[in-house]
């Protein structure tokens, strides 16, 4: 299974304060918009999403079809294929992608400790 680019999506209390904190750790804004309450920050291959008011906890995020620069990969496992593989192994999904569609879609699940995992395909 090729899950794609990995990032941690953080629920933050103050987006500007979090932006400054991660800039002090060497991260720069890579995407997002303060006015839309989220920023994607990057330092080398490390990606962190800062989200204000969008969800309640930290989410581990994989982006099938993207590399760490949000560039489209030529070869990748579509989120629907990942979904089939997970379901065949008995993994319970919280949300599923419509297997009759193509293109952007997402699935969500939790690990045994309740950590949220999002497979979010944009291509």
What pLDDT, on the 0 to 100 scale, is given for residue 69?
93
Distance CA 48, CA 87 (A): 28
Give tens-digit pLDDT for 87-97.
999 999 999 99
19 in Cβ contact with 26 (< 8 Å): no
Give residue-wise pLDDT tens across range 10-63.
999 999 999 999 999 999 999 999 999 999 999 999 999 999 999 989 999 999
pLDDT (0 to 100) of residue 113: 85
| Domain coverage including residue 60 | 5-121
**Count of domains in the chain?**
1
Cα 110 → chain centroid: 14
Selection from 85, 65, 67 nearest residue 75 by Cα:
65
Read off the pLDDT of each residue in 63-76 and give the average, rounded to a whole number. Answer: 95
Q: Can you tell me the mean pLDDT for 73-92?
A: 97
- Assess contact for 78 and 121: CB atoms under 8 A: yes
Q: Write the burial class of residue 50 (CB in 10 Å: 0-12 exposed, 13-18 middle, 19+ buried).
A: buried
Q: Does pTM surpass 0.95?
A: no
Q: What is the CATH number for 67?
A: 3.10.180.10
């Amino acid at each position: 299974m090729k899950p794609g680019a990995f990032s941690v999506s953080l629920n933050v209390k103050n987006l500007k304060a979090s932006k400054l904190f991660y800039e002090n750790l060497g991260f720069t804004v890579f995407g997002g918009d303060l006015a839309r309450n989220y920023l994607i920050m990057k330092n080398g291959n490390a990606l962190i999403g800062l989200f204000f008011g969008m969800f309640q906890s930290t989410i581990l995020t994989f982006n099938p079809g993207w590399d760490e620069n949000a560039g489209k990969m030529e070869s990748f496992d579509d989120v629907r294929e990942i979904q089939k593989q997970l379901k065949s192994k008995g993994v319970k999904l919280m949300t599923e992608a419509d297997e009759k569609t193509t293109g952007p879609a997402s699935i969500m699940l939790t690990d045994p400790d309740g950590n949220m995992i999002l497979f979010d395909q944009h291509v």
